Structure 1
Amino acid sequence: MESAYLADMVIPPPARMPAITKFVKPYILKMHFTNNFVSAQVIHTPSATVACAASSQEKVLRPSMESTRDVAAAAKIGKLLGERLLFNGIPAVSVSMSRDQKYHGKVKAVIDSLRAAGVKLL
């Protein structure tokens, strides 16, 4: 009898705040440019894994590119990444740029070709 009485007296735990991952943009685009190559990847932030990536280092792409480091290569990488994202069912990404990256040149080429491929940018 006493255990039933104690069960009625138990106070339910307070309602918890929703997890921070509900407020974080789930997919983030990160771009990396070296003197020889262009690479871009989309990271799934809640699981901290790479959801999709494209790089001018891929051997399949090299014959179709004149250079692996110029603005045309960056545009091709953006287009390829956009196609891969849509194929994987990722319709929108958020862009993460470092402080020294400006929306100009290779960065602009990647972002514009992603947008042209049909991926929405948040």
Structure 2
Amino acid sequence: MVIPPPVRPERITKFLKPYVLKMHFTNKYVTAQVIHSPTATVASAASSQEKSLRSSMENTRDVAAASKIGKILGERLLVTGVPAVSVFLKRDQKYHGKVKTVIDSLTEAGIKLV
């Protein structure tokens, strides 16, 4: 049985940014995904855990891996037709290091930030 995503009232969805970038960093991997907030579905995602990417990376957790993940995510978003995203940073994430690298490589790929 498939559970449909929650339907939000229109008064809430008109104030939401439609596509939100969320990033997660562990001691081993870098993961980034773009979520379509009105429908609560994942529009596109990229991770250094993917088998096809792991073989081409020297290290799956450093800044170079974060740059590659941002570039791949940007290319996937352009294929799906998402022109712009807004960034959601967690409380402990600051705009430097891996976070900055993912966002900068996304903008280099042609995705605009809202």
- Tell me if 1:99 matches 2:95: no
Deviations 1:48-78 (A, max 9, x none): 0111000000000011100000000000000
CA distance in 2, matches of 1:57, 1:86: 22
- Listed as ranges, the matches of 1:27-46 within 5 Å are 27-46=19-38
CA distance in 2, matches of 1:100, 1:22: 28
CA distance in 1, matches of 2:13, 2:86: 14
Q: Point out where structure 2 has 5 or more consecutive residues left out of the alignment.
A: 1-9
- Tell me if 1:54 matches 2:46: yes
Q: What TM-score, normalized by structure 1, do the two folds share? A: 0.84
Q: What TM-score, normalized by structure 2, do the two folds share? A: 0.90
- From the CA coordinates, give the structure whose radius of gyration is larger: 1
Name 1:75's counterpart in structure 2. Answer: 67
Q: Point out where structure 1 has 5 or more consecutive residues left out of the alignment.
A: 1-17
Deviation at 1:23, TM superposition (A): 1.8
CA distance in 1, matches of 2:37, 2:55: 33
Name 1:3's counterpart in structure 2. Answer: none
Name 2:110's counterpart in structure 1. Answer: 118
CA RMSD of aligned residues (A): 1.2
